[in-house]
Amino acid sequence: MTLAEKNLNLANERIARLRADVDFLASPELEGRGTPSRGLDIAALYLETRLRALGVRPVSGSSMRQIYRLGDYRPDAATVEVSVGGRTLAADDYVFWNISRDPAGSPFCYPLVGVGQGVVAPGLNDLDGIALDGGAAVAIKGAPWELDPDKVFGPDRALGKIVAATVRGARMIVYLSDELDSGADEESRFFRQMRDATVSFLREPGVGHASALSPIVIVRRSAFEAALGRSFDASSKGPLDAMLEVRVDAPVRQGEASNVVGVLPGNDPELRNEYILLSAHYDHLGLHETPEGHKMWPGADDNASGVAGVLEVVRELAESSRRRSVLVFFGSGEERAILGSAFYNAHPLVPIRSLGVQLNLDMIGRSDGTIEGVADGSPDLFAAAAECAEARGIKLIPDRQPDWRLVYLTDTYHFARADRPFLFYFTGFHDDYHQPSDTPDKIRYPEMARIVESAADLARRYAEGEPLPKFTRPDWFVTPPE
């Protein structure tokens, strides 16, 4: 057999393993891997079994599963009441999207603080000098420029404004929009969809709010102004001398979910106490009720692809000589506002400061010959990753949407807020994102295999002792105090 034939066989074997992992994780038997669910538990068992076969050990004890408690409820079974300045709003004047807030804390009462349009972008900070800690930030829809009606993410949209206010201490966001139920743009359609999504939240002490997203109340501007007794526009900033009160009565289902965490120990007496973190979330959106009955969200690209990729990187590293140790983290609850990684970082199995670099694989299955490398604050890490990618025939490109600030929305967030260098591998959003159509047959396995090979090459460099990358926190990366 020639070297070329041997390499081809190895590539085909790698593709076959990737395909098998994605096919299983996205299969009907796993029911979309919702958090919590029977399908998620099956996936956890599968991952622990696969890791043990590759030589990965539990970090402590005999199990790789880090179990945490959570609750959830369906919004259509909940009763919600919203008051502004003591006046109750009509139910058709608002939409409440509860992002990981336990209704056991209801009623939620916060002083209202105006932030104008609430935009934080290069050269513009509507939140500058405004004390938000413990308050509800009130932002009006819009920006000093024309909005793109097809855009949901970005600093000028509600999601970006939620992040900007949350990381500066806001506990809830009030978003004033005249297009509340119109469906006139992608944002209003998005919120109509999300108001019916299952709400999940941690029920563990000492973790705090899990994500960089707080609950949001989208309110008709006219209704808000009538309740407040004054007008509100882009210049309205500072305390509004009124309270927001949100009452939520919901039947909560309690359950458990788990992260799957293991280690490949290094062999250097000193460097073995430093870790290369390989991460991917293994949950997705589960089963949903639709007018046609139950539908499954299989999550082949999001994120069976990343999980399969990490397993293959682990296979490569298990066969190499490692001076540093390798920590493998499969998180759950990412789709429920990064619950699993929040719990892990409150209860780390190795010291967070011992993590030398994080390589996170999330949605790596739709490559067009490129792979996005989100490495905010670590240009030397991006350069090393680009070199490894080029050697494997794949092109690493910068984040296509840098103003989306994806670090806030993924499992990189809780590690980056501890100033750990990270690289987030990502092939981009597509029409099947968070849809039942995200199926295994659409994964581009040859390109995915090259991405995985390049990630393995990069991880191997650091595991074998190459100096670790540096991290300089970007000016825009604001996080709440620990």
How would residue 188 be classed by pLDDT, with cut points 50, 70 and 90?
confident
How would residue 230 be classed by pLDDT, with cut points 50, 70 and 90?
very high
Q: Greater confidence, 388 or 180?
A: 388
> Is it the case that residue 183 has pLDDT exceeding 80?
no
> Is it the case that residue 176 has pLDDT exceeding 70?
yes
Name the nearest CA neighbour of 16 among 297, 303, 311, 260.
311
Q: What pLDDT, on the 0 to 100 scale, is given for residue 12?
A: 87
Give the Cα separation of 33 and 25 in Å (integer).
8
Instruction: Share the mean pLDDT of the chain.
Output: 94
> Is it the case that residue 27 has pLDDT exceeding 90?
yes
CA dihedral sign of residues 89, 91, 97, 99:
positive
Q: What pLDDT, on the 0 to 100 scale, is given for residue 291?
A: 63
Q: What pLDDT, on the 0 to 100 scale, is given for residue 206?
A: 84
**What angle in degrees, to the nearest 10, is found between the helix axes of 306-318 and 38-53?**
20
Q: What pLDDT, on the 0 to 100 scale, is given for residue 149?
A: 85
Q: Average pLDDT for residues 54-82, to the nearest whole number?
A: 95
Q: What pLDDT, on the 0 to 100 scale, is given for residue 119?
A: 97
> Is it the case that residue 168 has pLDDT exceeding 70?
yes
Q: Average pLDDT for residues 209-224, to the nearest whole number?
A: 93
> Is it the case that residue 1 has pLDDT exceeding 80?
no
- Of all residues in the chain, the percent with pLDDT exceeding 90 is 86
**Is the peptide bond prior to 303 cis by the omega test (within 30 degrees of 0)?**
yes
The distance in angstroms from the start CA to the end CA of the chain is 58
* Half-sphere exposure of residue 291: CA atoms within 13 angstroms, side-chain side: 0
DSSP class per residue in 48-115: HHHHHHTT-EESSSS--EEEEEEEEE-GGG-EEEEEETTEEPPGGGEEEE--S--GGGPSEEEEEEEE
Q: What pLDDT, on the 0 to 100 scale, is given for residue 293?
A: 65
Q: What would the pLDDT profile of 255-289 be if each residue is shown by its tens digit?
A: 999 999 999 999 999 999 999 999 999 999 998 76
Q: What would the pLDDT profile of 403-446 be if each residue is shown by its tens digit?
A: 889 999 999 999 999 999 999 999 999 999 989 999 999 999 99
Q: What pLDDT, on the 0 to 100 scale, is given for residue 33?
A: 97
Per-position b or e across 96-108, b if 16+ CB within 10 A of its CB: bbbbbbbbeebeb
AA letter at 148 = D
Q: What would the pLDDT profile of 299-353 be if each residue is shown by its tens digit?
A: 999 999 999 999 999 999 999 899 999 999 999 999 999 999 999 999 999 999 9
CA dihedral sign of residues 285, 419, 258, 449:
positive
Q: What would the pLDDT profile of 115-158 be if each residue is shown by its tens digit?
A: 999 999 999 999 999 999 999 999 999 999 999 888 888 999 99
How would residue 198 be classed by pLDDT, with cut points 50, 70 and 90?
confident
Q: What pLDDT, on the 0 to 100 scale, is given for residue 288?
A: 78
Distances (CA, A) of 301 to 220, 288, 365: 36, 18, 5
